Structure 1
Amino acid sequence: MSQTIQPESPETPQVPLAPVPAAAAATTAVPVAPVVRPPGPRRWPSSFADRLTCPLPDFREVLSVMWHGGFRTDVGDADQIPVRRSGLPRAAATDTVVTWVGHATYVLRIGGLTVLTDPVWSRKIPGVRQRLTPPGVAWSDLPAIDAVVISHNHYDHLDAPTIRRLPRDTAVFVPARLAPWFTRRGFRNVTELDWWESARLGEVSFDFVPAHHWSRRTPWDTCRTLWGGWVLTSPRHRVYFAGDTAYGERFAQIGERYPGIDLALMPVGAYEPRWFMKVSHVDPAQAVQGFLDVGARRMATMHWGTFVLSGEPLLGPVAETREAWASHGLDPADLWDLAVGESRTLP
């Protein structure tokens, strides 16, 4: 599979890694207005803090929540988190198959590509206990990875030890100003995008979309890189990967620009205490409402059952998601509350 990023428009020169204005690949999609930029290297702002929708927590609040979630949460129910490590099912080039590895990591096979979302295979990430459940797919069982999408630079979504295991010619799609993190590590095929921009790999378009969140990797780089989600569109299917996000109007905006989403991969965990988490993470009821706002046909859960990041009971996220789903009268078959390692295929 070629790793060259192709532009959306045939009038645009065929330059590898060039981000291009988003355009819908499915026949039902609404065209997105072109993003006009001067020629030459990208010149991003030094900070994306103007895109925040809520004030960020101060240092004392962060320490309080780390203690509350990371060290006081009861993990006695960890053995009840469902795990089905049965390997990856076969997938034809026209199939779209999702496999939940854990947390925000999915193996997404779409349009003949194998894509990883926010890949984390490490047993432990900085600041929290080691993972509660093993990765749903062993690294040695993965096929060749064609592309990786990163939602933002928090340690539970951008894991350096996992990234080091990837071939350096892997196509990597990242938010604005995050490309240098990868190029310093030898990656040669990195595309960074602003919100509503798009790039192509093979027959799949990768569109970077807004989220209600923020970024920080060190005490000195708050909001220096962008954050968001991804919409992947093949000739047959469209999948929305929300990354990390609070609730807000950006879900509806995504739904307007990308109609016909077949599957939304939605975070449902890390939401207590609410006074702190509401600015960064949806709770299960908001995740279901966000799914409705984007107009997706089905929803798959993520961001629970892997790392202890907050104070809700370990099994609370999926239980509350099922309750919210039922309260809207939605078809239970359209809620893919997957076990770690479980796969589903879009019809």
Structure 2
Amino acid sequence: MIHRAGQWQSMTQEITHAPTRPESFRDRLTEPLPDVRELLSIMWHTMFPPDLRDAGRIPVAAGSAPAVTGESAVTWVGHATFVLRIGGRTILTDPVWSRRLPGVRSRLTAPGVAWEDLPEIDAVVISHNHYDHLDWPTVRRLPRDTPVLVPANLGSWFTRRGFTEVIELDWWESAQVGGVRFDFVPAHHWSRRTLWDTCGTLWGGWVIDGSVYFAGDTGYGERLARIGERYPGLDLALMPIGAYQPPWAMEPAHVNPAQAVQGHLDVGARRMATMHWGTFVLSGEPLLEPLEWVRSEWAARGLPREDLWDLAVGETRSFAV
């Protein structure tokens, strides 16, 4: 069953009326979709990546496990996948445990948490349907009664695969699962799973329990400040810092490290954790440049070093809410 905003109150309420969704979300784009030249450039960088010898220098916290205590905590699994502990619940973001994705080289670093070491998952959030954020080989490993929160029009993808608790939201809509509130918020991005479904499903980020902002994929733009206005006092922003070269192809849909820092300031979070780098080669920047650049930008702005969580793969940090 697909539950839609305005009718979802608990995991037991029956849904009788669903709002109408548009067939396309092209009107939500803030930049034109990538053209053939840009797509070919992206493919070139994935087939002929930068020097991979630095892959061994990507920070990895070996042997760590996600927190299962009552405190709020976040563990970076890799790419855009986090194990988030908040409100006494465990939440997965954009889960990807696969070694390879379609059209992309094998991952540079293994998942920071072994699948069998995961605690019980209370909810999963999906930012959009690109293959590096929605990975069927991983999703199929979840129990089919796992609550999954997804962008508008993506719910049927999950129900066709047997998931029974699918919550589908448009921008600024919210739902509660297990006492934790989930708000779906705008992003500067787009969606496509096949040649025939461009922008047929929505894309965005998530504000979780009014405390954590998970950006998913986003370019830089005014939507970030709007999120900050609506959700003051965020504790942590999970911001992407990779996949930005060449800028003429990537900038509309992916922030670079400096833009990520500015986006963090726009949403007004106390801390920023980095993601979307060090896992898959999706663009042309040197492997360690996102980490080096975000550290330099953070220092140049005079921000407290302890508030930049440049996590190692598998690293866990706790925070008060």
Q: Same fold (TM over 0.5)?
A: yes
Counterpart for residue 32 of structure 2: 55
Q: How many residue pairs get matched? A: 318
Amino acid at match of 2:97: W
2:13 and 2:37 map into 1 onto residues whose CA distance is 41
2:306 and 2:104 map into 1 onto residues whose CA distance is 34
| 1:47-86 equivalent positions in 2, closer than 5 A | 47-86=24-63
Matched, 1:342 2:319: no
Q: CA deviation at 1:60?
A: 3.2
Percent identical pairs in the alignment equals: 68
1:180 and 1:42 map into 2 onto residues whose CA distance is 15
Kept in 1, the 8 Å contact 2:146–2:163? The answer is yes
Deviation by residue 1:94-137 (Cα, 9 ceiling, x = unmatched): x1110000000000011111100000000000011010000000
| 1:258-273 equivalent positions in 2, closer than 5 A | 258-273=231-246
2:102 and 2:13 map into 1 onto residues whose CA distance is 31
Q: Secondary structure at the match of 2:52?
A: coil
2:232 and 2:25 map into 1 onto residues whose CA distance is 27
1:152 and 1:283 map into 2 onto residues whose CA distance is 19
Q: CA deviation at 1:13?
A: 6.9
Q: Secondary structure at the match of 1:169?
A: coil
Amino acid at match of 2:25: F
1:72 and 1:304 map into 2 onto residues whose CA distance is 14
Kept in 2, the 8 Å contact 1:87–1:141? The answer is no
Amino acid at match of 1:172: V
Q: CA deviation at 1:204?
A: 0.9
One of 278, 284, 289 as aligned partner of 1:316: 289
In structure 2, list runs of 5 or more residues that go unmatched.
none
Matched, 1:330 2:303: yes
One of 221, 238, 242 as aligned partner of 2:211: 238
Counterpart for residue 177 of structure 1: 153
Q: Which runs of 4+ in 1 moved over 4 A?
A: 5-9, 12-19
Counterpart for residue 199 of structure 2: 223
One of 242, 251, 254 as aligned partner of 1:278: 251
| 1:140-155 equivalent positions in 2, closer than 5 A | 140-155=116-131
| 1:77-96 equivalent positions in 2, closer than 5 A | 77-93=54-70, 95-96=71-72
Amino acid at match of 2:222: E
1:70 and 1:231 map into 2 onto residues whose CA distance is 35
Kept in 1, the 8 Å contact 2:80–2:95? The answer is yes
2:175 and 2:59 map into 1 onto residues whose CA distance is 36
Cα RMSD (Å): 1.9
2:80 and 2:67 map into 1 onto residues whose CA distance is 22
In structure 1, list runs of 5 or more residues that go unmatched.
20-38
Given the two structures, how large is their TM-score scaled by the length of structure 1? 0.88
Counterpart for residue 289 of structure 1: 262
Q: Secondary structure at the match of 1:76?
A: helix
